Amino acid sequence: MPLARLRGIVEEKGADWVIVGVGGIGLVASVPSTAADDLAVGRQAALFTYLHVREDALTLYGFTSRDELRLFEQLIGVSGVGPRAALGLLSALDGPRLATAIASGQTDLLRKVPGVGQKTAERLVLELRDKVAVPDDLPPPSLTKQGERQADADLVAALMGLGYTQMEAQNAAERLPDAGEASLEERVRSVLQSLAPR
């Protein structure tokens, strides 16, 4: 029988995982970073879970709401979107905002999530636009703080790959004006245009 829910004390946690103690056993669950931020070590946690079974591994994914679990299951039902990519989407955009971005066809916003390219973003919109549950009273979707930090980290890494030092890359990323829905490639191009030739 699938493991549907998990309730216990949070014993340890990281950016996107928690260990929940249940009956003397510590169960590791991968969770969206937004959920990890809300869970505290030593406090009770209740997670809706999805057990991903592969030949070489069993991975437990946990979510703080049934709606978020349902959205995760919809995401991994899309060709080319695995559990880790789905978790990344739910970390960069919380469940309601992610659903809104998909329903409104905002592929540019989806592409800002690490590991999501243009084709995957378009496939998500095409297959899920009419299936996701969108709240009525939600502000326009935008990346969470974690998603923004990850987008900045990706920009810094890309610049370092082009030969800039970490300090040069971080300074350039901080000076870059708000690029709206720009992709990583467009943001790198904007930075290169603003930097003096090396």
Residue 196 has pLDDT above 70, yes or no: no
Bigger pLDDT: 1 or 79?
79
**Range with the lowest mean pLDDT among 117-121, 141-145, 154-158?**
141-145
Which pLDDT does position 186 carry in this prediction? 73
CB atoms within 10 A of CB 179: 15
What confidence category does residue 124 fall into, taking pLDDT thresholds of 50, 70 and 90? very high
Tell me what the pLDDT averaged over the chain comes to: 81
Q: Which two tokens stand for residue 35?
A: 């959920």
What's the rounded Cα separation, in Å, for the pair 32 and 86? 9
The single-letter DSSP state of residue 183 is -
CB half-sphere exposure, 151, CA atoms < 13 A: 30
Q: Could you give the percent of the chain with pLDDT greater than 90?
A: 37
End-to-end CA distance of the chain: 60
Q: Is 26 helix (H, G, I), strand (E, B) or coil?
A: strand
Tokens standing for 112?
Answer: 């800002």
